[in-house]
A and B are shown apart, each in its own frame.
Chain A
Amino acid sequence: MRVKIKINDKDQFIETDPGEMLLETLRKLDYKGVKHACSTASCGACSVQLDGKPVLSCTTFTAAVDGHEVKTIEGFSDENSLSDVQKALIDEGGSQCGFCIPGLVVTTEALLSENPDPTQQEVIDYLKGNLCRCTGYESQTRAILKAAKERRSK
């Protein structure tokens, strides 16, 4: 079946199987920043924004997204340069192997557009579905609070 999805501000017409998941579709289209890990809605590595809200692409049917807007990690950095959130994650030691980072950044962007001045607890609550096996979360939380503060001061 044929679907139309706006991906990172660009309309795309895509041939897809009726049972295909958005994660698979995006990776086939070369959005490789969207990571494939648990496939059971449990880790957050495959997070993308659907109409501005973070969802899990591993358990979203591509057919259900027809006519909607998807934003992947590739849509958050300008011209191959890192975004402020990505820079803060590196500066604070919030990225080690890096596998969880695309999903984390996409979810963080949604948090900061809903709530530009989150408390530490609000960051923890919002991101509890983005698991990281390396960092222990302290440095990631610190980085997000720092990026939020810098964004507010601009």
Chain B
Amino acid sequence: MDSLARVASIIEQQHARPGALLPILHEIQDALGCIPPDSVPLIAQGLNLSRAEVHGVISYYAHFRQTPPGRHVVRVCCAEACQSVGGEALAEHARARLAGSDVTLEPVYCLGLCAIGPALQIDETKLHARVTPEKFDALIEAMEAAR
């Protein structure tokens, strides 16, 4: 199925539930990695909204993206509890280490791992705690080696 056909089938399945827009956007992003701009008219039509409204919602929420991410997405926690144990230095290290790579680096504001920071999340579900710059490098190397 091409991506617009998938979008259409997701809309078809979900459009009738109350407040369907966010669940639809999540499902599209989970399926395609992002919410492609050409899906916006389809969503708008399916939910009887204007394109501007749909676009407004997509751009409001940090989680949604309109362009595909890199091969991996690394989210480093930048919130207070992680700051207190070196989270900022970790984020800076990550930025330098991943510059020019095909890994997308994003800040996240708390992962609920605040007693074992600095914390990070790789590709939505893999979590790591007490991450030092050295441990970060090892994680990235392992990730690259696993390709």
State yes or no: do A and B come from one complex: no
| B interface residues with partner A (beta carbon < 8 Å) | none
| A interface residues with partner B (beta carbon < 8 Å) | none
